[in-house]
């Protein structure tokens, strides 16, 4: 039965129509693929700017170059095979290659986009975790983190017979500073104290806010003698610091503060967190009672050797 009268595009005319439509479809696929590859450079570049200088950043810079090379090869294919040259029953490669290029472009775009989203998510989670354990005023760890780490370090010191010392410092006459200069300057003093303590501590030490104007340092794997050396150096650096409140001109009014410091260590009588806390608080009270701006060690004879 001859259906050419019913379907005008059947037979040779129909084949020509189908081939022309396929030409346009594959050409459109190639153009869209090229645009997708260009778009993939956007998340890749944003990701590189968010990464700190490191091997991972260098790897993504190499990947961006490879994306550009892929785009160049894609455009070369377009220039050579524009609209597919599909006449006269072309080979299967004329159909497959544009599809492969298009799927490759989609893959590159998805990888770059998902990598950027993952990096942003990790960065936000890291910032959130850091904020949840950081005191916003002093810029050091908060009390919650201190309690967690102190419990861990005391258990480790007792179990493995390792030395552990804790240092507790308090600003002398801090209320007088607030009354004389105002609470804004008082906050500035606390912030400065946090920075000075961090600068003096080791990377392995834990510096955290213990109370209103009290800071505790967990000196891991440190004998009492080492804690005393550290505390004296810290006390002197704070006493010598000339704190210039924000807004004060050069040579303007400065604030001088001193701190009293107590030291305790894990020993036969201080093998638990409550006992160690009581010991260091008692040492701090004795430092204040003896005139302030001094370091006092509580019961060093019971400390672990």
- The residues annotated as belonging to the active site are 213
Decide: 196 and 234 in contact? Cβ < 8 Å: yes
CA distances 83 to 19, 21, 26, 102, 167, Å, are 11, 10, 7, 14, 77
CA atoms within 13 Å, Cβ hemisphere of 73: 13
Tokens of 150: 């102190």
Rounded Cα gap, residues 72 and 83, in angstroms? 18
Taking Cα atoms as reference points, which of 288, 245, 248, 282 lies closest to residue 264?
A: 282
Tokens of 37: 């590859």
């Amino acid at each position: 039965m001859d259906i050419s009268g019913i379907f005008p595009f059947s037979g040779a005319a129909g084949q020509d129509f189908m081939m022309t439509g396929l030409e346009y479809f594959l050409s459109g696929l190639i153009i869209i693929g090229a645009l997708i590859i260009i778009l993939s450079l956007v998340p890749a570049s944003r990701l590189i700017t968010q990464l700190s200088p490191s091997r991972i950043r260098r790897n993504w810079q190499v990947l961006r170059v490879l994306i550009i090379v892929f785009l160049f090869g894609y455009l070369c294919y377009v220039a050579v095979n524009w609209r597919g040259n599909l006449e006269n029953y072309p080979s299967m490669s004329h159909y497959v290659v544009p599809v492969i290029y298009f799927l490759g472009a989609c893959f590159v775009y998805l990888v770059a986009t998902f990598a950027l989203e993952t990096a942003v998510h990790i960065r936000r989670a890291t910032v959130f975790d850091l904020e949840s354990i950081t005191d916003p005023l002093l810029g050091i760890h908060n009390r919650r983190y201190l309690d967690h780490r102190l419990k861990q370090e005391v258990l480790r010191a007792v179990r493995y017979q390792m030395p552990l010392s804790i240092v507790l410092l308090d600003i002398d006459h801090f209320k007088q500073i607030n009354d004389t200069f105002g609470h804004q300057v008082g906050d500035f003093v606390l912030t400065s104290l946090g920075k000075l303590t961090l600068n003096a501590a080791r990377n392995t030490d834990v510096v955290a806010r213990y109370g209103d104007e009290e800071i505790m340092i967990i000196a891991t794997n440190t004998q009492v003698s080492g804690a005393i050396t550290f505390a004296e150096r810290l006390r002197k650096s704070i006493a010598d610091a000339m704190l210039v409140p924000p807004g004060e001109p050069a040579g303007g009014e400065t604030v001088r503060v001193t701190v009293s410091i107590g030291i305790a260590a894990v020993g036969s009588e201080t093998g638990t967190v409550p006992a160690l806390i009581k010991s260091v608080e008692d040492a701090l009270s004795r430092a204040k009672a003896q005139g302030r701006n001094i370091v006092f060690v509580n019961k060093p004879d019971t400390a672990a050797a």
